[in-house]
Amino acid sequence: MFPIYELFNYLNRHPSDKTYSKIIVYLFTHQKEIQHLTISQIAKRCFVSPATMTRFCQAFGFSSFSHLREALTINERIKSYNALRMRASDFQQLQEQPEIFLTNYAAEITSALKDILEKIDYLEIDQLLEKIQQAEKIILIGYTTTLELARNMQIAFSASNKLIHVPENEELQKKAIQQANEQTVILVLSSYGTILTSHVDLINQISHRPAHSVLITQHTQNLMTNLFDQVLNLTSTNYVQIGNYPLEFFCDYFVRRYASLNEKRK
């Protein structure tokens, strides 16, 4: 999988005059051209050495420059509406009838939120929040879009004097999980459960720790969910086009409910 988020994360957190930042900018602004260039040619255009380009590839998980070029080629050929979780017919409707598209889009969000209200087990949620309150350490794991959601939850929990750890890359996540014990709760956020197949080693590591593990996800039927102690399937079906709306809605309730319960304890 093309680690586009890792590249953008680096770009967003480092000055634009950093060597790797310059390379990332060049790669994304010359995706078609790169398909026909060698590593030496790209290095020359980025004013770096081929050895620096090789180190850049390895730093972002590419085994070689050829691997990077192949990933960029695939990324460039993906239709824009595919990246936005849209069908071609929906994209055409958006182009020609934006008011109808937006009405349908809003209706799907509404359906998803109603679905959550019908599925939610308030007692189960409160019991989980009690575990979180009593736990010595909470590890919250998110990827790509859910990582930002995890950061927001971290800040929200801090307002209730509860520290949440959000390791931001797989190396830090594995290290945090290795240190987890019986007094730890591990929460994993996943929109559609793809983490279960894209990070199998991490999920297996979680399953072998004595911590209480919880997967919070929108609808998924992946059999690997049995590796968690608890699974919160927020919806009864997939709402692919609206992305993280259901998960964000639930997590907002989750942290607010924790705050309300925490105030009662005082």
Q: CATH code at 38?
A: 1.10.10.10
CB of 244 closer than 8 Å to CB of 250: no
Q: What pLDDT score does 1 carry?
A: 46
| Same domain assignment for residues 233 and 183 | yes
Domain end, chosen from 26, 49, 78, is at 78
**Closest residue by Cα to residue 211 from 199, 227, 200, 196:** 227
Please state, in angstroms and rounded to a whole number, the distance separating the CA atoms of residues 48 and 23. 9
- R_g of the chain, CA atoms, integer Å: 21
| Same domain assignment for residues 144 and 57 | no
Outline where DSSP puts E strands in the chain.
137-141, 184-190, 212-217, 230-233
**Euclidean distance between the first and the last CA atom of the chain, given in angstroms as a whole number:** 47
| This prediction's pTM | 0.81
- Residue 216 CA to its chain's centroid (Å): 12
Is residue 110 included in any domain, yes or no? Answer: no
Is residue 20 included in any domain, yes or no? Answer: yes
Q: What pLDDT score does 194 carry?
A: 83
| Same domain assignment for residues 131 and 209 | yes
Range of the domain at 184: 118-265
Structural domain total, the chain: 2
Q: What's phi and psi for 215, nearest 5 deg?
A: -100, 120
Is residue 90 included in any domain, yes or no? Answer: no
| Same domain assignment for residues 139 and 223 | yes
DSSP annotation string for 201-264 = HHHHHHHTSSSEEEEEESS---GGGGGSSEEEE--SS--GGGTTHHHHHHHHHHHHHHHHHHHH
Task: Go through 219-236 and write b for each residue having 16 or more CB atoms within 10 A of its CB, e for each that does not.
Answer: bbebebbebbebbbebbe
Q: pLDDT tens digits, the chain, 266 residues: what are they? A: 456 778 888 898 899 899 999 999 999 889 888 888 999 999 999 999 999 999 999 998 888 999 888 888 887 777 777 777 788 888 899 999 999 999 999 999 999 999 999 999 999 999 999 999 999 999 999 987 898 899 999 999 999 999 999 998 888 999 999 999 999 999 999 988 888 888 899 999 999 999 999 999 998 888 788 999 999 999 999 888 898 999 999 999 999 999 999 987 76
| Same domain assignment for residues 31 and 129 | no
Look up the CATH number of the domain holding residue 132. Answer: 3.40.50.10490
| Same domain assignment for residues 177 and 228 | yes
Is residue 201 included in any domain, yes or no? Answer: yes
Is residue 231 included in any domain, yes or no? Answer: yes
| Same domain assignment for residues 62 and 168 | no
| Same domain assignment for residues 66 and 180 | no
Is residue 72 included in any domain, yes or no? Answer: yes
Q: What pLDDT score does 3 carry?
A: 63
Q: What pLDDT score does 181 carry?
A: 96
| Same domain assignment for residues 135 and 183 | yes
Which H or E run includes 154? helix 145-158
Please state, in angstroms and rounded to a whole number, the distance separating the CA atoms of residues 92 and 86. 10
Please state, in angstroms and rounded to a whole number, the distance separating the CA atoms of residues 48 and 20. 10
Tokens of 231: 């699974």
